[in-house]
């Protein structure tokens, strides 16, 4: 007969293992979304409108540190005049699951850029990217920057 102590130990072990699997799933998702996010910065650097078009959801909204807002069409047009000079993403980033098909990626980034050949400007921001899984693909639906000093 299984005693009460054995049941408690088995229950604790199951909880630890299932929590560990959940943590592994979250870490895997965080890395998957961060790879997508880094790819979007590459699209900006390389002026790859086709890549950005495939990354952004049709209903995407992007809000930059200066308060400028762009929908997908406006963002693709803006890319023609934008040049990403440098980029540093801090290695500490996090993902927050909102539902099985919605997640937010949070990270700090410093980048220098020019717009329409103007003087280079450096932005140091906390970035928040909301991803939605549609038809088994993660789409960027909301990108927002908050300036930090």
Confidence band, pLDDT 50/70/90 cuts, at residue 135: very high
Range of the domain at 8: 4-147
Q: What is the CATH number of the domain that holds 43?
A: 3.10.450.50
- Residue-level pLDDT at 25: 87
pLDDT digits (tens, 9 = 90+) for 101-133: 999 999 999 999 999 999 999 999 999 999 999
**Which of 143, 146, 147, 145 has its CA nearest to residue 62?**
143
User: Which residues are bridge partners to 83 per DSSP?
Assistant: 114
pTM of the model: 0.82
Output the six-digit token pair for 93.
């980033």
Tally the domains of the chain.
1
**Which of 128, 72, 67 has its CA nearest to residue 98?**
128
pLDDT digits (tens, 9 = 90+) for 31-73: 999 999 999 999 999 999 999 999 999 999 999 999 999 999 9
**Which of 30, 136, 121, 132 has its CA nearest to residue 84?**
121
């Amino acid at each position: 007969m299984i005693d009460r102590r054995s049941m408690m130990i088995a229950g604790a072990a199951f909880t630890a293992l299932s929590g560990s699997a959940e943590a592994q799933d979250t870490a895997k998702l965080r890395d998957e979304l961060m790879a997508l996010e880094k790819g979007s910065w590459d699209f900006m650097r390389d002026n790859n409108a086709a890549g950005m078009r495939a990354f952004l959801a049709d209903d995407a909204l992007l809000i930059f540190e200066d308060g400028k807002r762009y929908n997908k069409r406006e963002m693709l047009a803006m890319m023609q005049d934008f040049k990403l000079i440098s980029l540093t993403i801090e290695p500490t980033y996090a993902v927050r699951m909102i539902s099985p098909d919605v997640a937010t990626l949070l990270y700090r980034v410093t980048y220098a850029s020019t717009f329409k050949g103007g003087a280079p400007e450096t932005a140091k921001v906390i970035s928040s990217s909301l991803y939605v899984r549609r038809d088994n693909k993660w789409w960027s639906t909301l990108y927002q920057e908050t300036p930090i000093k």
